[in-house]
Structure 1
């Protein structure tokens, strides 16, 4: 080309940009300037487009400076492009600063800022920006509605999601498939499954994505039987649908159902991804089936998933929970040595802490700090390790370290602190942590209840249970385990029976094996042999060997011949 004008330079720069060569595009841009051709909006937009494609942050900052130099700051197209790049690169403070400089941000500008906040995990900010659109009198795009609804899903913001639903109807998006799918997902994840199903029943809503949202909503709310019914009726499924159903089983520790579902999945579809494998490894860990875990490990090796960190962390966690620390170390040193992350370190720490190697867990924590920054979950593991070996001073040091370094004391950490102080017989510190001015969820209440149990303060347990109900916190199976233990300590047999019955009648909690064991211990210890016989013979399953042994001991102690003979006969079968 013998002579180039500004349009020719723009065409060349655009060509380089579209092939993903931001450095070459920027080099042409510099050469263009040196030859006296002034860049325009199209020039800058082309170079920024290539930077966004490869996330070239350092180059974007240089172009940003040149844009400012040529007086294009505040330009809606270039400003939106810069917001997009900075957001994709994770520097939302800069992205927001540039957005605020845009003189009249349009619908695309708003869509970008909402989307980038969402992708950075800042759902609350995404929702705030969405509502500010209306203040600025800018009509949202359907994708902006979708992003805002996904943000509501991510932080369970039902009230805001309902308001966005109303706005979508007012603005004519009630039949938009993108918006409808996001609405179904939002209501499902917020637990409003009736609303989710009502929208799904609309003709334009019945698609694979929406159906998967319904399955996930039922499964993750504990209604796995409804999720399975819906799953079975779906005309088509993909790997995400299968994973959603399996995730529900694993979340609620329904290991046998999960195992049967895995066999069905393997025989029905070949669509298995890293998420599926991670869930299958959770099932192996839940069943303590290390042999099955090894078979899955072989599948992972044969199908090229070894380098996937998500799968590697799943293997590490599975071997750790199954007590196979040798295989866990093999995964650690050979499979994920080049890509391990904080989750990997936490899984290794948890493995050693869980199996009585708490001192070694403390040593590993020191090594971790050379490679990764610990998070709140790391400290919860360490506090559990301290509790296991009654290391009160080390637990206090960890507590102090977290305070000095500004870590968030969420309910999990506070629960771990309460548990550690309680097990180390420092109940005063446990109560102090529990009473800190912060919200208390069921995890923290359970930690306090179990802490009182460890210190044989049964009456305080029952007081805590009453206060917990007063605060509107719904108890779970862990809560009732503590309450039944407290009744055993104090000899409150009738109260124990009432609490056990209330699990099903008032709270919809199906008693587990541990709750039946608590009731057998309660009746046995306090000599209520008629009640014990009636209870055992009406259980929905056959008594276990430990149960029969405890019953036999109680019969010897309290002289109950008939029940003792029955228990002895069952033990000999």
Structure 2
């Protein structure tokens, strides 16, 4: 500001009056927009002293400045200098009233004007449209004697602002029929209407008109055409429009950035971003959002820091993206810093950023802080409710999640899915099915995510009947061939023991990804179809572009282990790192140990455990111990159980190893050692985890544990068991004789 005033003092108004007035106008505009009242009033005093404050150009700038500051006394003084009615001054006052939101006063002043011009009518029409008073705006437009391109464009833009896209196109057509030539702003508004209506054929037809009126190189029009092309899915057309532009602004570059982002070409998008001569909040937000959505949260955070250091103010979209990135990183400190910044700029109560904040706190395990954010949101929508319900579910607070769900004013499929996924994560599979039944009774249509969760519950319960029923519902909705549902069905049938149906679903899938191939391989391996598992693995390598993963190799090694295919197992195990660059993990080594142990090659199994380049897991020693029991190798069993006790921290794992050792001693007739081990089990109060069985009767799942008396009908169950035992014993006696 000081430099601007200094440059003003260097200009002699008598010899360079035009330059002096232009500089004054520029400085006054800056004072107005920046709110520099003291500097503006000082400059006004200087202009009075110089005797040029009554110049009409300067007087209008002074009037606008005081109107912007809402200083009524100063406004009236300026109006006195105009000496009564002045058309330009009245137009300025009416525009100021609209900016204040005082629409009725603006209309009153317009009606009292003794004279009006094109600016007066266009300003009123645009102002009324801006505040949603469409009917009044139409009425004034129809009475407008100056129906030029500006007023027609004001009407079109007003309809677009209020979501009346079809009416906007009708007005545009009528405008052309009246012989009014559209300008760049007109076409920009019409293209927005086409996008809103998804009238892409109409939008494409505008290209010839744009060329006809010589606006094909207009920056705003080209920017709108790039957006239209993206919405039509014509990426190449958008790229061509950008390449042919003679002049580009920051919006042009940002629009082209959108092109690269939509195509998923993040490397090229980043190159374009780095080449941009000028960036705005939208271009920064576009890049940050895409990195956050693609899972590269660290890069999103890096860009955000650069943006803030560059003096750019993050918008709601940008803040939402960076909060999501901090949730992905589970970085509570970062999330709190961003939350603090939002509080400073007064955005903490905005629902658009409130939901990601809730998600961030809940993913960091801070559900109380998430609830505080939820309670602070002034106008909650279904997304914010769902975020809080999901947060409670994620942290196992199912009672709180259900209580909030019951209070939810309006539910959608995501609301139901939040509760269902909570019970699924906490392995309450019967509750998953119960909530799903309520969802169907409510009339809400399940989506793919819902069915995927329900099928996962059915798979965990091995409830084939329920799973088939769900499959029928999926077929009715026609979504059975979606890759994630096909994968869920494959897994459900496999875990329910119906490998044939699992294979049929897998074969009918039009698209197979890494997860679906893994599900099929695991299904065959775990159900003993070793050779078929290997055949499917070879088929995947031969016919698809999917690269084998660690889980796939685990399934192949598991299949080989349970069928004694030692040579094939070693071939695949060695190819992991040599061919695919995958370093075997603990579970892969355990599989190989189990394979050798089951095959009776105990010494090789023990040597392999010792050769593992990291700490072996307890299961590797447990597999060797189990094989020692099978092949009656007491010496190795004693060494193995010592190692197992050192590694196994869980009570059940230690207990199981003691039991196995006692069995080995018993099979060798070393009864004194058996008694010692049994005594140790009692002294250490070790207890092996009891088995669990379940059965589904009339859509209800019943669980039974070893020596369990908690079931509501336990007494009846034991009575039947006693009856069965009484029938079984005589049969055994007869068989002996």
TM-score in same-fold range (> 0.5) = yes
Consecutive unaligned residues in structure 2, runs of 5 or more: 1-175, 597-604, 626-639, 662-676, 693-704, 728-737
Residue in structure 1 matching 2:642, options 442, 459, 469: 459
Q: Does 1:312 align with 2:486?
A: yes
Taking the aligned partners of 2:643 and 2:349, their CA distance within structure 1 comes to 55
In 1, Cα distance between equivalents of 2:322 and 2:311: 17
Name the residue aligned to 1:435. 614
Q: Report deviation, 1:464.
A: 2.7
Cα deviation, residue 187, structure 1: 1.0
1:317–1:348: 8 Å Cα contact kept in structure 2?
A: yes
State the alpha-carbon separation in 2 of the partners of residues 389 and 401 from structure 1: 20
Cα displacement (A) at 1:392: 4.2
Cα offset, 1:113, TM superposition: 0.7
On the 8 A contact 2:351/2:377 being kept in 1, the answer is no
Match of 2:585 among 406, 414, 425: 414
Q: 1:340 aligns with which of 493, 504, 512?
A: 512
| Cα deviation code 1:326-383 (max 9, x no counterpart) | 222332344x2x2333333222222211210121111111211212313523333323
CA distance in 2, matches of 1:111, 1:190: 24
User: Helix, strand or coil: the match of 1:204?
Assistant: coil
1:49–1:81 CA contact under 8 A, matched in 2 = yes
Q: Is residue 252 of structure 1 aligned with residue 446 of structure 2?
A: no
202-211 vs 148-157, greater mean Cα deviation? 202-211
Q: How large is the RMSD of aligned CA atoms in angstroms?
A: 4.0
Relative to structure 1, the CA distance from residue 163 to residue 372 in structure 2 (aligned partners, 3 Å threshold; closer, same or farther) is same
Q: CA deviation at 1:433?
A: 5.2
Instruction: Spell out, residue by residue over 1:9-29, the C-alpha distance to the aligned partner (whole angstroms, 9 max, x if none).
Output: 966994898444699589859
Report what 2:417 is aligned to: 243
Task: Give 3-state SS (helix, strand or coil) of 2:689's partner.
Answer: helix
**Equivalent of 2:225, from 29, 47, 53?**
47
Note closer, same or farther for the CA distance 1:50–1:233 as it changes in structure 2 (3 Å cut): closer
Of 265, 274, 290, the residue aligned with 1:91 is 265
Q: How does 1:203-352 map to 2 (within 5 A)?
A: 204=378, 206-334=380-508, 336=509, 338-352=510-524
2:306 is matched with which residue: 127, 132, 136? 132
Residues 152, 430 of structure 1: alpha-carbon distance in 2 compared, 3 angstrom cutoff: farther
Distance in 2 (alpha carbons) for counterparts of 1:496 and 1:39:
89
Specify the SS of the correspondent of 2:336.
helix
- Alignment partners' CA distance in 1, 2:186 and 2:612: 66
CA contact (8 A) 1:484 1:499 kept: no
* Structure 1 residue 205 displacement after superposition: 6.7
1:452–1:460 CA contact under 8 A, matched in 2: yes
Structure 1 spans left out of the alignment, 5+ residues: 437-444, 467-478, 502-513, 519-534, 549-566
Residues 124 and 36 (structure 1 numbering): CA distance in 2 closer, same or farther, change over 3 Å? Answer: same
Residues 358, 370 of structure 2: 8 Å contact kept: yes
8 A Cα contact 1:284 1:290, kept in partner: yes
Whether 2:294 is the aligned partner of 1:111: answer no
The residue that corresponds to 2:527 in the other structure is 355
3-state DSSP of counterpart to 1:455: helix
Q: Report deviation, 1:151.
A: 2.1
Q: Which moved more, 1:187-196 or 1:116-125?
A: 116-125
Q: Aligned residue for 1:552?
A: none
Q: Distance in 2 between matches of 1:371 and 1:26?
A: 44
- SS across alignment from 1:326: helix
Report if aligned partners of 1:17, 1:25 keep a CA contact under 8 Å in 2.
no
Aligned partners of 2:194 and 2:203 also within 8 Å: no
* Cα distance in 2 for residues equivalent to 1:499 and 1:174: 54
Match of 2:556 in 1: 382
Q: Quick check: 224-233 or 17-26, which moved more?
A: 17-26
Determine if contact 1:281/1:318 at 8 Å carries over to the other structure.
Answer: yes
SS in 2 for 1:174: coil
Q: Out of 564, 571, 577, which is 1:397 matched to?
A: 571
TM-score by length of 1: 0.74
Q: In the aligned structure 1, how far is the partner of 2:393 from the partner of 2:464?
A: 26
CA contact (8 A) 1:5 1:37 kept: no
User: Which fold has the larger relative contact order, with Cα–Cα distance below 8 Å and residues 6 or more apart in sequence?
Assistant: 1
Q: Distance in 2 between matches of 1:149 and 1:105?
A: 22
Contact 1:383 1:417 (C-alpha < 8 Å) held by counterparts = yes
Distance 1:102 1:420, change over 3 A: same
Q: CA deviation at 1:49?
A: 1.0
Q: Give the structure 1 partner of residue 362 of structure 2.
A: 188
Whole-angstrom distance in 2 between the partners of 1:316 and 1:41 = 53
CA distance 1:288–1:107, shift in 2 (3 Å): same
Counterpart of 1:557? none
Please give the alpha-carbon distance, in whole angstroms, between the structure 2 residues aligned to 1:150 and 1:135.
20
Distance between the aligned counterparts of 1:278 and 1:195, measured in 2?
A: 31
1:17/1:46 contact within 8 Å kept: no
What SS does the corresponding residue of 1:284 show, helix, strand or coil?
Answer: helix
